Amino acid sequence: MRIDLDRVRAETPGCRNVVHLNNAGASLPPQPVLDTVIGHLRLEAEIGGYEAAADRRAAIEGVYDTIARLIGARRKEIAVAENATRAWDMAFYALPLEPGDRILTATAEYASNVIAFLQVARWRGVSVEVVPDDSSGQLSVDALRAMLDERVKLIAVNHVPTHNGLVNPAAEIGKVAREAGVTYLLDACQSVGQMPVDVAEIGCDLLSATGRKFLRGPRGTGFLFVSEHLLERLEPPFLDLHSANWTAPDEFTIRPDARRFESWESSPATKLGLGAAAEYALALGLEAIGERVVALAERLRERLDALPGVTVHDRGARRCGIVAFSVAGREAGEVVEALAARRVNVSRATAEAARFDFEARNLPALVRASVHYYNTEAELEALCRVVERGLDGLR
Ligand SMILES: *Cc1c(COP(=O)(O)O)cnc(C)c1O
């Protein structure tokens, strides 16, 4: 199945206004997502918020089925959250880590996750250790295997980092984790929506993702997958009357499904929008999406590489839709601004987002261009032209 570019662009209102190469920040949502969210907000205004939720109950429940289908999970293994970080946190802070336990993570790990590791290291005396990269720049599976012992209680890595095109070998890591019986938490924030992601194939116990990035959902959405075998063994760090049931004056029971990690109040409009985004991606096909994203990103890397003074910093044996580069003599922020002035959206990635990797490679702040299937070669050219000529004019 090939992607019908004219159709997907016609269904993406933002394509008329901007060259959007900030899909790792937040993608332009397609029309069905927009219609779903606005439609529900309108219904809330017309008949009442609780009444609108009751009215759309079947559709809201259907969101869990769609997300489960998207990642090859069961509906009871899915919790919807307000973002990926909170989804990840709910799982991470539920893990029964004890003094002396070891957490293994990747060089490219995301700041918010590392901050949580460090907090728990401080509270409970666990150690946080970075698995070295292999020569391609991805997490070294051999090094990971060599670091394992009975004190390793968690392998937590990101599938695709926030700041470069690397795709970590998630399934190989899963194999090692399974063999060792170590809990495996995968941050799939940047991979879900741009490539097929299947929890059974990967072999992770826990997975978090966001709605607004490559999945093209509304902002303020995310989800968590908790494998069935862990579900009733993980006690969420926070509970309320949705995640638990107050059964007697001094008793409560926690829900058996993954929604034990949710809270009562949430936005049905954006939850429905998240479901619409997942349906849209499934209808196009994640294989087809992934192929086009990789092809566009490779094309962009080639073009950028050929420009004098431009260095592409992506790593890994397998690369995806994120293209990180720097321009000699120009701070990343200047490049981002020059592009923004011509309505080309990209963003800036700095050490604050992924300090292990930035320090290890002594990286400057980077320009992050992230392509999606609805982008065109002409749009990539627009970016390259600004970098090539536009910047000259600003010197
Ligand atoms: C964006 C991102 C997150 C955080 O997602 P939110 O929805 O903003 O909480 C986590 N990990 C990675 C790798 C990211 O790029």
370 Cβ inside 6 Å of ligand 1:
no
How high does pLDDT run on average in the chain? 97
Residues 211 and 222 sit within 8 Å (Cβ to Cβ):
yes
C-alpha span between 367 and 325 (Å, rounded): 5
87 Cβ inside 6 Å of ligand 1:
no
162 Cβ inside 6 Å of ligand 1:
yes
Residues 324 and 351 sit within 8 Å (Cβ to Cβ):
no
Mutation to probe ligand 1, out of 157, 190, 206, 270 (largest number of atoms < 8 A from CB): 190
Atom 6 of ligand 1, nearest CA residue: 84
Cα 84 to middle of ligand 1, angstroms: 6
pLDDT in tens, 155-200: 999 999 999 999 999 999 999 999 999 999 999 999 999 999 999 9
Angle at 73 between CA 227 and CA 246, to 5 degrees: 55
Helix H segments across 80-166?
84-92, 111-124, 141-147
Q: Report the percent of the chain where pLDDT is more than 70.
A: 98
Q: Annotate 207-239 with b (16+ C-beta within 10 A) or e (fewer).
A: bbbbbbbbbbbbebbbbbbbbeebbeebebeeb
The pair of three-digit structure tokens given for residue 382, joined into one six-digit string: 């627009």
pLDDT in tens, 249-297: 999 999 999 999 999 999 999 999 999 999 999 999 999 999 999 999 9
User: How many helices (H) and strands (E) are present in the chain, helices listed first?
Assistant: 16, 15
Q: Which H or E element spans position 127?
A: strand 127-131
Residues 218 and 270 sit within 8 Å (Cβ to Cβ):
yes
- CA-190 nearest atom, ligand 1: 15
189 Cβ inside 6 Å of ligand 1:
yes
Predicted local confidence at residue 208, as pLDDT: 98
**Residues found in the chain:** 395
Provide the residue type at 352 as one letter.
Answer: E
Cα 284 to middle of ligand 1, angstroms: 24
Predicted local confidence at residue 390, as pLDDT: 64
C-alpha span between 233 and 205 (Å, rounded): 12
What's the alpha-carbon Rg for the chain, to the nearest Å?
21
For residue 395, pLDDT over 60 is answered with no
263 Cβ inside 6 Å of ligand 1:
no
pLDDT in tens, 4-32: 999 999 999 999 999 999 999 999 999 99
- CA-112 nearest atom, ligand 1: 10
C-alpha span between 321 and 315 (Å, rounded): 12
Query: Residues with Cβ < 8 Å from 129, sequence gap 6 or more?
Result: 102, 103, 104, 105, 147
Atom 3 of ligand 1, nearest CA residue: 189
DSSP states along 64-92: HHHHHHHHT--GGGEEEESSHHHHHHHHH
pLDDT in tens, 337-391: 999 999 999 999 999 999 999 999 999 999 999 999 999 999 999 999 999 986 6
Cα 394 to middle of ligand 1, angstroms: 33
C-alpha span between 199 and 153 (Å, rounded): 20
pLDDT in tens, 236-253: 999 999 999 999 999 999
84 Cβ inside 6 Å of ligand 1:
yes
Residues 171 and 141 sit within 8 Å (Cβ to Cβ):
no
